[in-house]
Structure 1
Amino acid sequence: MEGMKLPRPPLPVFSRRLHDARTATAIGRWLGLALVVCFVTGVISHYEQHPPAWLANSLPSRPSWGYRLSQGLHVASGIAAVPLLLAKLWTVYPRLFVWPPLRSVRHALERLSVAVLVATALLELFTGLLNAAQWYPWPFSFVPVHFALAWVLTGSLLLHVAVKAPEIRMHWRRGSPGTLSLPAEDAVDRRALLTAVGAAVGAVTVTTAGQSFTPLSRLDLLAPRHPDHGPQALPVNRTAVQAGVDARTVRDWRLRVDGPRPYELSLDELRELQQREVVLPIACVEGWSKSAHWTGVRIRDLLDRAGAPPGALIRVTSLERHGAYRVMVMPHTYARDPLTLLALRLNGEPLSFDHGHPARIIAPNRPGVLQTKWVARLEVL
């Protein structure tokens, strides 16, 4: 009937003050920082892997460690955001039980925006964690969905901050005007809670960051990769068996270089060319990275021999039978960089099959998925 109030159902009562706005703000500012770092580095990673046409030939090849740093920060900040998000949700979940649940149209829209924010944050962070472990228990393609969700999460976060700005400002610092004083025992509990959250963030960061920050590699207990574990002391994501490459596949291997003056080279002929040695990291999108010594022929020398114009894009094709990165297009900024090699040796030894025998790409400031292994063809576009 019109004007009749809904009966209040039995709802839990929250008596402690740690579910207050001051605690939520204290945790929220660190969560916001982690999400901003994760978003910015994630956009960098996405455009490094899938550059739009207007950017494809302008990506920088220096600093050589740039992608290693940005992707390491991306994964580390995403992992650090998980305990922060859970703590933030714990501080505010009593608001789910307010009565009446919808007081006005504005209140309904505010609750809807918060629901979008929470759902998107949970989905974005936990799918990112599963991607770092290379486990994909969903039917959709991870990369485009993860990228789209990042924009939805960032937009809903900015909207939430704008709506809550007066309350955030009021509780940003201890003793801010409008902040209610707390009983002594609650102040102690808050400090204990914030200390515990900080310890949790520190623990998950220290025990995973070693997969890219090698001085912490001995503490790399929770990360899915250890930088020293793998063939030739370097991890791999995709093995030769997974790629369908073996001794029979490369028995009659020759490198084909297509350009104004096309030619082919056998492995022995490649070894007779001037060899260069560089120290460059393999930095993968899952967050792990490690530097290694690579020996091979400069890509620019191979392109010059084929008569390639200076600004041409280069298409690189792998021997692997299937895979999203079987064919890769390399901007001239990478192809012409003196550090970019068609590598034949790793740490003084011939490449193993898992590392791309007989030849692979190694380039500075480049995602690992674009350091094509088992190279069969270079094509000037």
Structure 2
Amino acid sequence: MKLLPTFSGRLHDARTATMIGRWLGAAIAVCFVTGVLSHYLQHPPDWLENVLPSRPYWGYRVTQGLHVASGIAAIPLLLAKLWTVYPRLFVWPPLKSLRHALERLSVAVLVAAALFQLFTGLLNTIQWYPWPFSFVPVHFAVAWLLAGAVVLHVAVKYPEIKAHWSSRAAGTLELPAADGPDRRSLLTGVAAAVGAVTLTTVGQSFTPLKRFDLLAPRHPDHGPQGLPVNRTAAAAGLAGVSTVHWRLTVVGDRSYALTLDELAALAQHTVTLPIACVEGWSKSARWTGVRVRDLVRSAGGRPDSTVRVVSLEKRGTYRVMEMGADYTEDPLTLLALRLNGQVLSLDHGFPARIIAPNRPGVLQTKWVTRMEII
């Protein structure tokens, strides 16, 4: 008497699993590398702070866009991969040896880490956090766990992967020719699913495709002054900001303070830079304001100075931000007063905000009130 079901479908074979697995592996590799870059740009250790480059100015827009796009593309690939291999959950006996037990444990870690990373990452794009832990450090730690699990899995399965990697290699194993059309249909369907979710979400960062941006949580043109907003002034507790008593204080060897009118009377520069957010959306805009390096030098700062920027916000993870010397000295880095030719709206950081090249949106501090030369 059989206690477990028998799976005879030939599309659950190693050849199909390998073909989908190499697509999934490529997506996870891109997602991992760009995710690590994103993490260290957002949270640079002290030794890295003055090493991070401000150019190319579009760098973070591209890497973070790839991070989110590859993560979303990996979801249908992971589900397809699990479909091809799930019959192995029902092998009997479940544990044949110590090696087999360790292999199954490593696969369990791999699957759990992959599901956790992809689905929590997807929820992060809509800024929904239905869990009690802090997303960023946990997501970063599990990324390394997933990377290690993938490497271990590939090492253990390498002989089987090699045998089924190419059609020529697979042909030596005498796979039934009748499976070819069904396998091609399955792979075409998986590719179509990946293409559909990519096409309907990538427009939030790759603006030439914004007209197809149907499933992404952000549209690059929707928001005050034609630019999306993640954190509004009301959410930051700054709905009633007034410039009557506002001052920009620059602390250095020659500290000084400026009113908004005095700041606006300084030499103004206009640059075109993208806002690129960790949730995956990005949009270029024209920003006008005072170069940060001019403000720093007026306070006695040197070209290698690091600057700490403080927001009017009373709380929040990013209310205080630091910029390394490469950002501070870059002529594209502004304390911006205007957006697309208009005075900054309150939601975009009025009276003044930071805009810098190759920088995550969370570090483009809004509602700036203080700059300290370190």
**TM-score interval, smaller chain:** over 0.9
Residues 24 and 188 (structure 1), Cα distance of their counterparts in 2 relative to 1, 3 Å cut: same
SS in 1 for 2:288: strand
Deviations for 1:77-103, whole angstroms, at most 9, x for unmatched residues?
A: 000000000000000000000000000
1:164 matched to 2:157? The reply is yes
Which residue is equivalent to 1:58? Answer: 51
Q: Distance in 2 between matches of 1:124 and 1:278?
A: 36
Distance change (3 Å), C-alpha of 1:108 and 1:144: same
Distance 1:252 1:29 in 2: 60
Counterpart amino acid of residue 175 in structure 2: S
Query: What one-letter code is carried by the residue in structure 2 that aligns with 1:181?
Result: L
Name the CA distance, whole Å, in 2 between partners of 1:139 and 1:13: 41
Q: Which amino acid counterpart does residue 331 of structure 1 have in structure 2? A: G
Runs of 4+ in 1 over 6 A off after TM superposition: none
Opposite residue 145 of structure 1, the aligned amino acid is: V
* 2:326 matches 1:323: no
Residue 372 of structure 1, CA deviation: 0.1
Report the counterpart of residue 78 of structure 1 in structure 2.
71
- The whole-number CA distance in structure 2 between the counterparts of 1:248 and 1:305 is 27
Identify which of 90, 105, 121 aligns with 1:128. 121
| Deviation at residue 179 of structure 1 after TM alignment | 2.6
Q: Deviation of residue 15 (structure 1)?
A: 1.6
Question: Match of 1:238, as an amino acid?
Answer: R
CA distance in 2, matches of 1:149, 1:10: 36
User: Which residue does 1:285 correspond to in 2?
Assistant: 278
* Aligned with 2:353 (options 360, 369, 372): 360
Distance 2:335 2:173 in 1: 62
Q: TM-score, structure 1 length as denominator?
A: 0.96
5 Å matches for 1:1-381?
Answer: 10-176=3-169, 178-184=172-178, 186-381=179-374
* DSSP 3-state at the match of 1:241: coil
Mapped to 2, the partners of 1:320 and 1:254 lie a distance apart of 14
RMSD: 1.0
What's the secondary structure of 1:194's corresponding residue?
helix
For residue 350 of structure 2, what is the amino acid of its counterpart? Answer: H
Deviation, 1:16, is 1.2
For residue 226 of structure 1, report the CA deviation from its aligned partner.
Answer: 0.3
Give the Cα separation in 1 of the matches to 2:175 and 2:155: 25
The alignment's TM-score, normalised by the length of structure 2, stands at 0.98
**Counterpart amino acid of residue 215 in structure 2:** L
Partner residue in 2 for 1:4 = none
Measured in 2, the distance between the counterparts of 1:303 and 1:163 equals 55
Tell me if structure 1 keeps the 8 A contact 2:243–2:260.
no
| Partner Cα separation in structure 1 for residue 205 and residue 343 of structure 2 | 25
Amino acid at match of 1:265: L
1:358 deviation in Å?
A: 0.2
